[in-house]
C-alpha cells in the first residue's frame, strides 16, 4: 500500500467533506477554528440530492442541507398520497361525473413534485448537461419519464419518497459525524495567564506564548498543552487519550488541551501554542485526511462510475428493444425502463463505505488512537507482523534504579550510599544519573569540584573526600585482584538481566554498585499476548546489546528480537519483514517513538507512534498515533479494523443483493416505481444503520 507523501494525521472523511478543508494556521481566529472547519460543512458525496460537485468524485455530490424542510416534505408526501388515492378513485369510477377526470391526480402530483423535487431536478439536469450520470440525474429522468407517460401519482411518490429518504439518511449520518465535530468545542477560547507583574489575567488561548504560566481551577477545561509546575489534581483525559479514569497530575507531569481538571488546582507551563496542541493536531488531522480514500472506497467509487452509465444504457435498451422487436407495448416498456432506473440508483452502494469508515475512525479517536486515514483503518486487519521499538515503546523510556549493592568491607549503610551517589548524579543530565537522583528522596549533600569524565562518568568532592560515579572504565585502577574479579562478575550478572551498571568509589576502593533499567510498560505484556492471539507476530528492535535485549524480550513475551540496530538497520529489518509478509498478502506494522524510528515508521505499511512521549518526527511520519502510549491500543486497532471490514462487506453484499432481487422482480413485471424507491431507500437506510455499528465500543 502506498502512503500519501504529505503524511498528515487524521481521518479519511472525504465522502462527507467540503471541497477543501481549511488547515489550522499558526494563529487561527476562533471563528475560523470553529465555524470555518470542514467538519461543520460535511456533506454526502453520493450524488443523491445536490448540485455542488465534490472534488475527485466522479458520480456527483450532494449539497449540505442547511436545516431540513421537514414540513415541506411532509406536505409533499401527503400530496403524493392524495394523487395516488385520486388515481385509484378515478379507476374505480368514483370520479366519473367529473368533466376532466385526470385533473386531481395531476394537480396533486405536480404540487408534490414542486415542493420536494426542485433541487433534485436542478442537480439532475445540470449533471446530464455535463454528461455526469449520477443519482440526481437518474431520479430526474425517471420522474420526468413517468410524467410524460401519464404516471403522475408514481412520479410524485418517487420524488417525495426519495427526498424524505435523503433527509432521514442525513439525520442518521449526523450521528457518525457528531462525535468528531465535538472535538471543536473541547478547547476553551481563554486561559488564566500569569502577567509580568505577578497578577493573573484571562487571555485568549491563541495569544498565550510558549513558557507562559497558566492557572487551572477546579472543574475547568485545560486550554493548552503544558507541564505542571505547581499544585496537583486529577485530570479527565478521556477526550484525548481515551482513558476512562482520571489521571493524577503533579509537578513535572504533562497536561493536554481539551482535558478536564477534576478537583484540585495547579499551574502549568505552556509547551505548545494553541495551533500545535495535541487537540489541534487531532482537529487538523481530521480535516487533512479528507484527501485520503480507503482502497475499498476507491473501488466502490470506480465501480459506481461505470455502473451508473450501464444502468442508463440498460434502461434505454429495455425501453426500445421490446416494442421494436418483440411487439411489446411502448408505454409498458418505458415504464419498466424507468423502474430499472430507480432501482439502479447507486446511492446506497456508494454511501455504504464512507459511513462505516467515519464511524470506525470516530471510535478510534474516542479510544485515544489518532488514525491518519480510512485506508490504514481498513488495512489494519491484514497486519501479520508488528515490529516494536524497545526504548519508549515496550519500555517507559525513563530508566529507574533497580538494585543497590553495597560491597563487602564497606561500613556505609545502603541509604547513605544512595544519598552520596544521588548527590553526584543530581549535577548531571545523563538518563542514568537522573534515575539515581530521582531514587533518593532525602536531602542531597553539597558537591564541590564537580567534573564530568566523557564516556566514563562523573566525580566531585563530597563531605571532604573525592568520589567517583560511573561505569567500570572509570575505575580501572581499583579493579584488581580477587575483589576486582568479584566486582566484575556481579556487574556482568546485572548486565545479563538487561540493566546498566554504575559504581560509586572513593580514591581507594569501590563502595557500591547501582543497577539501572528501563522498566517495561505495564501494558506491554498484555498487548503482546493479545496480538499473538490475533495472529500477529511481534519483533522487538533495539540498539541495546544482546543481553539487555534478550532480557526485555523475555519479559515482554515477544516472538523475536533484533539487537544492536542503528536506524538504517531498523529500516532494513522492516523491508525484510515486508518482503516476507507481502508474499502472503500480509501487512507489516512498526511502533516507535523516536527520531531514529522515523525511517522504519515511514517504510512500514502501518506506522504507530507513541504520541504521549514520542518525538514530533515520529508523530508526523506514522499513520496512527497512540495518544496515551498504551500498547493495548494496538490489538484494539486490529480488532476495530476487522470489525469495520466485516461491516463494509455486509453493506456491499446487502446493497447488491437487494438490487439483484428487485431487478429480477421488475423484469418479471412484479414491481412499480414507488416500490423500487422503497427498496433503494430501505437498502440505503440499512447500510447507514449497519455502518454506525462500527462506532460502538
Cα 131–chain centre separation: 36
Helices (H), 401-523: 414-425, 431-439, 481-496
Task: Indicate the helix (H) or strand (E) that contains 510.
Answer: strand 510-520
Task: Indicate the helix (H) or strand (E) that contains 109.
Answer: helix 103-116
Other Cβ atoms within 10 Å of 155 Cβ, number: 28
Question: For residues 225-236, b (16+ Cβ closer than 10 Å) or e, as one string?
Answer: bbebeebebebb
Between CA 286 and CA 11 the distance in angstroms is 5
> Could you tell me which residues are beta bridge partners of residue 288?
none
Between CA 597 and CA 601 the distance in angstroms is 6
Q: Tell me if 47 sits within 8 A of 350, measured CB to CB.
A: yes
Residue 661 sits at the vertex; the CA angle it makes with 656 and 667, to the nearest 5 degrees, is 125
Whole-number Cα distances in Å, 604 to 383, 573, 598, 600, 635: 11, 10, 10, 6, 17
> Could you tell me which residues are beta bridge partners of residue 410?
none
Query: Per-residue DSSP letters for 268-285?
Result: EEE-S-GGGSHHHHHHHH
Helix/strand/coil (H/E/C) assignment for every residue in 312-354: HHHHHHHHHHHHHHCCCCHHHHHHHHHHHHHHCCCHHHHHHHH
Other Cβ atoms within 10 Å of 67 Cβ, number: 5
Between CA 177 and CA 185 the distance in angstroms is 14
Between CA 232 and CA 266 the distance in angstroms is 6
**Comparing C-alpha atoms, which of 291, 303, 289 is closest to residue 350?**
303
Mapping DSSP to helix (H, G, I), strand (E, B) and coil, where does residue 387 land? strand
Task: Indicate the helix (H) or strand (E) that contains 248.
Answer: strand 247-249
Residues whose CB is less than 8 angstroms from the CB of residue 317 and which lie 6 or more positions away in sequence, other chains included: none
Quote the radius of gyration of the chain (alpha carbons, Å).
34
Other Cβ atoms within 10 Å of 572 Cβ, number: 16
Q: Which long-range contacts (CB under 8 A, 24 or more apart) does 425-428 make?
A: 425/458, 425/469, 427/458, 427/460, 428/452, 428/458
Instruction: Give backbone dihedrals phi and psi of 422, rounded to 5 degrees, phi first.
Output: -65, -35
Q: Tell me if 339 sits within 8 A of 666, measured CB to CB.
A: yes
For 593, the grid coordinates are 517513538
Q: Tell me if 160 sits within 8 A of 78, measured CB to CB.
A: no
Catalytic residue check, 389: yes
> Could you tell me which residues are beta bridge partners of residue 295?
none
Q: What is the dihedral of CA 420, 425, 427, 430, to 10 degrees?
A: 170
Other Cβ atoms within 10 Å of 430 Cβ, number: 15
Residues whose CB is less than 8 angstroms from the CB of residue 213 and which lie 6 or more positions away in sequence, other chains included: 193, 194, 229, 267, 268, 269, 270
- Active-site option among 132, 236, 301, 389: 389
The residues assigned a catalytic role are 389
Amino acid at each position: 500500500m502506498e502512503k500519501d507523501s504529505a503524511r498528515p494525521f487524521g481521518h479519511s472523511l472525504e465522502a462527507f467533506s467540503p471541497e477543501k478543508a481549511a488547515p489550522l494556521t499558526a494563529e487561527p481566529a476562533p471563528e475560523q477554528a470553529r465555524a470555518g472547519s470542514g467538519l461543520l460543512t460535511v456533506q454526502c458525496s453520493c450524488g443523491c440530492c445536490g448540485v455542488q460537485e465534490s472534488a475527485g468524485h466522479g458520480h456527483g455530490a450532494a449539497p449540505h442541507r442547511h436545516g431540513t424542510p421537514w414540513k415541506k416534505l411532509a406536505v409533499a408526501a401527503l400530496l403524493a398520497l392524495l394523487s395516488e388515492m385520486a388515481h385509484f378513485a378515478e379507476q374505480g369510477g368514483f370520479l366519473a361525473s367529473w368533466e376532466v377526470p385526470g385533473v386531481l391526480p395531476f394537480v396533486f402530483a405536480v404540487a408534490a413534485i414542486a415542493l420536494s423535487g426542485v433541487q433534485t431536478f436542478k442537480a439532475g439536469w445540470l449533471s446530464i448537461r455535463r454528461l455526469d450520470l449520477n443519482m440526481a440525474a437518474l431520479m430526474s429522468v425517471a420522474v420526468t419519464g413517468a410524467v410524460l407517460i401519464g404516471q403522475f401519482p408514481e412520479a410524485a411518490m418517487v420524488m417525495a419518497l426519495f427526498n424524505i429518504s435523503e433527509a432521514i439518511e442525513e439525520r442518521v449520518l449526523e450521528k457518525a459525524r457528531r462525535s468528531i465535530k465535538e472535538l471543536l468545542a473541547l478547547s476553551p477560547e481563554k486561559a488564566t495567564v500569569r502577567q509580568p507583574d505577578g497578577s493573573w489575567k484571562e487571555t485568549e488561548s491563541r495569544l498565550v506564548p510558549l513558557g507562559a504560566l497558566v492557572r487551572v481551577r477546579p472543574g475547568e477545561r485545560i486550554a493548552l498543552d503544558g507541564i505542571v509546575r505547581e499544585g496537583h489534581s486529577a485530570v479527565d483525559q478521556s477526550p484525548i487519550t481515551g482513558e476512562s479514569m482520571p489521571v493524577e497530575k503533579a509537578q513535572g507531569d504533562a497536561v493536554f488541551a481539551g482535558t478536564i481538571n477534576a478537583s484540585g488546582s495547579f499551574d502549568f507551563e505552556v509547551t505548545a501554542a494553541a495551533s500545535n496542541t495535541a487537540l489541534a493536531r487531532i482537529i487538523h488531522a481530521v480535516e487533512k485526511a479528507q484527501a485520503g480514500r480507503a482502497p475499498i472506497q476507491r473501488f466502490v467509487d470506480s465501480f459506481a462510475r461505470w455502473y451508473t452509465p450501464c444502468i442508463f444504457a440498460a434502461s434505454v435498451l429495455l425501453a426500445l428493444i421490446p416494442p421494436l422487436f418483440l411487439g411489446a407495448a411502448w408505454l409498458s416498456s418505458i415504464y419498466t425502463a424507468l423502474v430499472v432506473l430507480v432501482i439502479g440508483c447507486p446511492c446506497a452502494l456508494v454511501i455504504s463505505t464512507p459511513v462505516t469508515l467515519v464511524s470506525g475512525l470516530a471510535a478510534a479517536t474516542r479510544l485515544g488512537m489518532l488514525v491518519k486515514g480510512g485506508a490504514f483503518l481498513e488495512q489494519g486487519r491484514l497486519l501479520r507482523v508488528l515490529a516494536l521499538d524497545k526504548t519508549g515503546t515496550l519500555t517507559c523510556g525513563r530508566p529507574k534504579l533497580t538494585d543497590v549493592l553495597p560491597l563487602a568491607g564497606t561500613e556505609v549503610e545502603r541509604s547513605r550510599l544512595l544519598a552520596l551517589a544521588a548527590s553526584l548524579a543530581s549535577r548531571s543530565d545523563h538518563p542514568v544519573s537522573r534515575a539515581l537522583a530521582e531514587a533518593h528522596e532525602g536531602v542531597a549533600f553539597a558537591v564541590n569540584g564537580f567534573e564530568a569524565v566523557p564516556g566514563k562518568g562523573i566525580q566531585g568532592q563530597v563531605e571532604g573526600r573525592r568520589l567517583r560515579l560511573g561505569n567500570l572504565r572509570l575505575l580501572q585502577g581499583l579493579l584488581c585482584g580477587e575483589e576486582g574479579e568479584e566486582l566484575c562478575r556481579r556487574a556482568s550478572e546485572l548486565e545479563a538481566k538487561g540493566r546498566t551498571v554504575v559504581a560509586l568509589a572513593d580514591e581507594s576502593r569501590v563502595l557500591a554498585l547501582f543497577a539501572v533499567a528501563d522498566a517495561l510498560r505495564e501494558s506491554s505484556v498484555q498487548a503482546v499476548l493479545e496480538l499473538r492471539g490475533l495472529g500477529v507476530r511481534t519483533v522487538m528492535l533495539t540498539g541495546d546489546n544482546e543481553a539487555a535485549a534478550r532480557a526485555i524480550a523475555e519479559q515482554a513475551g515477544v516472538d523475536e528480537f533484533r539487537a544492536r540496530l542503528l536506524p538504517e538497520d531498523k529500516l532494513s529489518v522492516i523491508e525484510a519483514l515486508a518482503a516476507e509478509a507481502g508474499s502472503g498478502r500480509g501487512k507489516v506494522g512498526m511502533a516507535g517513538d523516536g527520531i531514529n524510528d522515523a525511517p522504519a515508521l515511514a517504510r512500514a505499511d502501518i506506522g504507530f507512534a507513541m504520541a504521549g512521549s514520542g518525538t514530533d518526527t515520529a508523530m508526523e511520519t506514522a499513520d496512527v498515533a497512540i495518544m496515551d502510549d498504551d500498547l493495548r491500543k494496538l490489538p484494539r486497532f486490529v480488532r476495530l479494523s476487522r470489525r469495520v471490514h466485516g461491516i463494509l462487506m455486509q453493506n456491499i453484499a446487502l446493497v447488491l443483493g437487494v438490487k439483484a432481487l428487485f431487478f429480477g422482480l421488475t423484469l418479471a413485471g412484479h414491481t412499480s416505481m414507488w416500490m423500487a424507491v422503497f427498496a433503494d431507500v430501505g437498502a440505503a437506510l440499512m447500510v447507514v444503520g449497519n455502518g454506525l455499528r462500527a462506532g460502538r465500543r
